[in-house]
Amino acid sequence: MASSCSVFFTIFVFISLFLFYSASGTLVFPLKHSFSRTQFNSTHHLLKSTTVRSASRLHHHRHPHRQVSLPLTPGSDYTLSFSLGSQTISLYMDTGSDVVWLPCHPFDCILCEGKYNPTSIPNPGPINLTSAVPVSCKSRACSAVHSSLPSSDLCTIAKCPLEDVEISDCKGYSCPPFYYAYGDGSFIAKLYSDELSIPMSFPSLILQNFTFGCAHSALGEPIGVAGFGRGTLSLPAQLANNSPEIGNYFSYCLVSHSFDTNQVNRPSPLILGRYSVDEKMKQMKNYYSDYAYTPMLENPKHPYFYSVGLEGVSIGKTKIPAPASLHRVDRRGNGGMVVDSGTTFTMLPLKFYETVVTEFDRRVGPVLKRANPVEEKTGLRPCYYMDSGSKNVPQLLLHFGGNSSVVMPRRNYFYEFVDDEKVKRKVGCVMLMNGGDEGESGPAGILGNYFQQGFEVVYDLEKKRVGFAKGSAHLCGIT
């Protein structure tokens, strides 16, 4: 457990950030980490579960049934809270999806036992709909959630009479329910609108007619998702309709991403809108304002993705060029790397992944012994016994399009922990995963949230770029 002094310091720093950014005309509120050790009987179990879910999420990105992404992986969940009407709800924050949906009373969730620890989510729902109103089948939101079906078809599905369909007078009929399916779960929801307010903002942010999905039944999904993708129904897009200066630019710093229970209580700031930094902030210890920006790639098939081009990876001084599939997105929506807060591990195409980890092992293998049993139990590789320390772990850099490079802190790509076997030994694993054959449809790779920890990650929708700045005292609180 963290000491009371460190908890007080964390709260003080976050309140200071809140007051500063609110005063500068932006909004900041905390992302809560929902990690709970009680869900897993060992570190191996936690890592294995996370690798399986990360792989399932990539599979869904490549074969989506609808434009929504897999729920966040246990052990890597970031939640945010806001109010709908008179009730407060906590949802997973996810840049890989573009719909906000939540569980509503009555709520039946099949195969949801053990999916999350109720004590780790402050307001998990389901909620009662009191002031919310159904969205019309004639609305743009209804067409968007039904994959752009024409309003005449939606009116027909809503059982609107023929004479009303012919004269396009179906405003009194509710948008039909929509169905989403993904790797290991699904849900059915209806569109509603209500007043949304963000309690952490000052002055308070109130958004009228906020559109969201209300689910009464789900399979394997007990918690809703706040989609932050590029679609018209995402939370930033709906904010941008009323306040473009807030909705078209947001950033976060994932400081609580750790499998260490002493770290997960620290809030991760999510900032909506641009902020300016005064001279006092610049003089703070470890302040860092040099952002590495890379252009967003347009994806005609998956327009809600934040896709960027990865041009190479450096292990030490050896630069390994990335395949063309990671550089660009083709006309069929294949290729590119998705920056995704909802996937834990970073995944690369098979041949490129093998080249990267082989180069890593070429440098580390002669010094540290491979921990083959740990690799089998966690789904990660290569892993090593750290008897000789970590000084031999080489540096890793990511080279993005736009001539931008990002130096990864070691903790972002090499996780060290104590093996849970009878003879406890310190081990370390490379936090990369095999993303499958390069020729598969959909994104070629995913930049997961474990690689993003300790950086301020910026989504600039006006200039269509994603930026990375090394975590600093003024925002991330990490040195």
Active-site residues: which are they? 94, 340
Question: CA-based angle 81:233:161, to the nearest 5?
Answer: 125
Tell me whether residue 119 is exposed, middle or buried, using C-beta atoms within 10 angstroms of its C-beta: 0 to 12, 13 to 18, 19 or more.
exposed
Residue carrying the six token digits 């948008």: 175
- Which amino acid appears at position 314 of this protein? S
At a CB cut-off of 8 Å and minimum separation 6, what does 424 contact? 418
DSSP annotation of 320 reads E
**Nearest residue to 334 via CA among 230, 439, 433:** 439
477 Cβ neighbours under 8 A, 6+ residues apart: 10, 13, 255, 266, 471
Cβ–Cβ < 8 Å for 315, 356: yes
Q: Which residues pair with 217 in a beta bridge?
A: 108, 188
Q: How many CB atoms lie within 10 A of CB 81?
A: 19
Please tell me the distance from the alpha carbon of residue 381 to that of residue 356, in angstroms, as a whole number.
11
Which among 377, 376, 350 is positioned nearest to 432, based on CA atoms?
Answer: 350
User: DSSP of 188-257, one letter per residue?
Assistant: EEEEEEEEEEETT-SSPEEEEEEEEEEEEEEES--S-EEE-SSSTTSHHHHHHHH-HHHHTEEEEE----
